[in-house]
Structure 1
C-alpha cells in the first residue's frame, strides 16, 4: 500500500506545475508570438486604410469591403487565381508522377551508374536559376510557348529535391515485397501503383506540399515567360499593385492575404502527413 501511495504522489508531482518549466514555456511563447505576429498584422491590415497600415494600427478596421472593391476594380483577381491554381496543381501532379518514378527507379534498380547520375542531378541544385533563365526563355520562345502556362509548369516537373526525397523514402521500403510480387506475376507498373504508392502516402503528401507551395509562390520565371497580364499569377498581381506612384497598402495586404490562403489551407490539411513524410525520408 505504501509503494502504491508513493507512486501516486510521484505521478502527481510529475503532472503538476513546476517552476523549472516557466523559462522554457516563456521562451517558446515569445517566439510563437514573433512567428504569428506577421500573419496577424497582414490580416488586420487588410481591413484598414493605407494611413492606418503605415501607422502600424494593430486592431481591425472597417475598410475590408472597400479594399475588396478597390482590389477587384484594379486587377483581375479571378483570372490570376485561376492561373496560379492551374500552374500549382498541374506542376504538383506532374512532379509527383515523374519524381516518384525516378526516385523509385534509382533505389529499387540500384547500380553504381545510377549513383553517378544521381550525383550529377544533385549538382544541378547548385546552379542558380538565373543562370539558366535566358536559355530557357529562348527555348520556349522558339517553341512558341511564351505566355503559355505550360512554359511555367514544364521546367518544374522534375526537381532534384523531390527525386532525392522519394529515393530516400524508397530505402525504407522492403524489397522483399517487390520480389514476392514479381514471383506472383505482377508487372513493374502494377507493383509501383498497387504496392509502392499506397505505402508511401506520407512521402507523396510531403512532396505535394513542397511542390504546391513552391509553385504557387513562384514569381521570377512566371514574370519572365508570362508577358500578358491576362495570364498573370497572384505573385505577379501583387507586384503590379506596387508598380504605381502611390501604393494602397490596405489593398496590397488584402491581395497578400488572398494569395497566402491556398498555401495555408494545403499545409494545414496535409500537416501531419507532411511531418511523417519528411521524417520518414530522413530516416
Structure 2
C-alpha cells in the first residue's frame, strides 16, 4: 500500500513537472520555426532561428529596450532594498506610540487598486516633466507596503543582542544598520532582490503609460507590440519572449539557495 501511494505521488509530480516545463520547451522550439509552423503546432526544432533573430533586430530597437529594462530593474531594485529594509527595520526595532497606526495605514494602501491612482500619478509626473523617463517608472515602486512588511516580519528574527553589543562598542544607528543588520540578513535581501527585480523587469501597465517613444520602450512593451500587430510573426515573438525571460531565470538560479533561506526567514 505504501509503495502504491509513493508511486502515485511520483506520478503526480512527474505530470506536474511536464505541464510546467512544456510551455518553456514549446517556446524554445518555436523560436527556431516559422510563424506558420508554430500555428500548425510543430514541435520539432527548425532552421529559422537566425532569420527570426535578424528580423527581430530589424523591426525593434532591441538593444535600447534591453538596456532600458536592465537599468530600471537594477536601479529600482537597489533603491527598493535600501528604502524598504530601512523602513521595515525602523518599524520593528524602534518603538513609538503611533507606529502601529502608521503601519496599519500603510497596509491599507495595499487594498487600493492601481487604476484608482493611475490618472493622478500620470498628471503628477506630467507636471513634474518626468514622462518618458526611467525615473517615472522607478519612483512609484521604490517603496511598497508588501516589501516593507516583508522586511519587518523578517526583522523579528534578528537577534537584538547584536545591536546591544554594537551600541556597547560605540556604533551609531547608521553603522548598526549597515554594518550589522545588512550583513546578517543577506538571505532576506537575496529573496527580496529576486522578487523586486522580477517585478520591475516584468512591469507592463505603468511603463506603457509613461514611456511614450520607441527608444524608451522596455522589453515587455516590445513583446506586446509584436503580439498586437495585424499579422504577428510568432517565431519573432518567441525569440523576444526568450530574451525577456532569460535574465530573470539566470538571477533566480544564481540566488536560489539564498532565496529559499530568505523566504523561510533564516538568519545566520
TM-score by length of 1: 0.91
Task: Tell me which of 207, 225, 235 is aligned to 1:222.
Answer: 207
- Secondary structure of the residue that 1:80 maps to in structure 2? helix
Task: Tell me which of 96, 111, 122 is aligned to 1:137.
Answer: 122
1:149 aligns with 2:129: no
Task: Tell me which of 167, 172, 179 is aligned to 1:187.
Answer: 172
1:234 aligns with 2:219: yes
Task: Tell me which of 88, 107, 113 is aligned to 1:128.
Answer: 113
- Runs of 5+ in structure 1 lacking a partner? 1-16
CA distances 1:66-86 after superposition (whole Å, capped 9, x unpaired) = 000110000010000000000
Task: Tell me which of 44, 50, 62 is aligned to 1:65.
Answer: 50
Q: Per-residue deviation at 1:59?
A: 1.6
Q: Per-residue deviation at 1:20?
A: 3.9
Show the counterpart of 1:273.
Answer: 258
Q: Per-residue deviation at 1:112?
A: 4.2
Pairwise CA RMSD = 1.2
Show the counterpart of 1:101.
Answer: 86
Larger radius of gyration: 1
Q: Per-residue deviation at 1:111?
A: 3.3
- Secondary structure of the residue that 1:153 maps to in structure 2? helix
Q: Per-residue deviation at 1:130?
A: 1.3
CA distance in 2, matches of 1:112, 1:45: 59
Show the counterpart of 2:233.
Answer: 248
CA distances 1:222-273 after superposition (whole Å, capped 9, x unpaired) = 0000011111000110111123210000001110110000111111111111
Show the counterpart of 1:23.
Answer: 8
- Secondary structure of the residue that 1:59 maps to in structure 2? coil
Task: Tell me which of 163, 176, 182 is aligned to 2:161.
Answer: 176
Runs of 4+ in 1 over 2 A off after TM superposition: 17-20
- Indicate the larger mover: 120-129 or 93-102: 120-129
Show the counterpart of 1:45.
Answer: 30
- Secondary structure of the residue that 2:42 maps to in structure 1? coil
- Secondary structure of the residue that 2:264 maps to in structure 1? helix
Q: Per-residue deviation at 1:115?
A: 1.2
- Indicate the larger mover: 234-243 or 190-199: 234-243
CA distance in 2, matches of 1:90, 1:161: 19
CA distance in 1, matches of 2:120, 2:42: 46
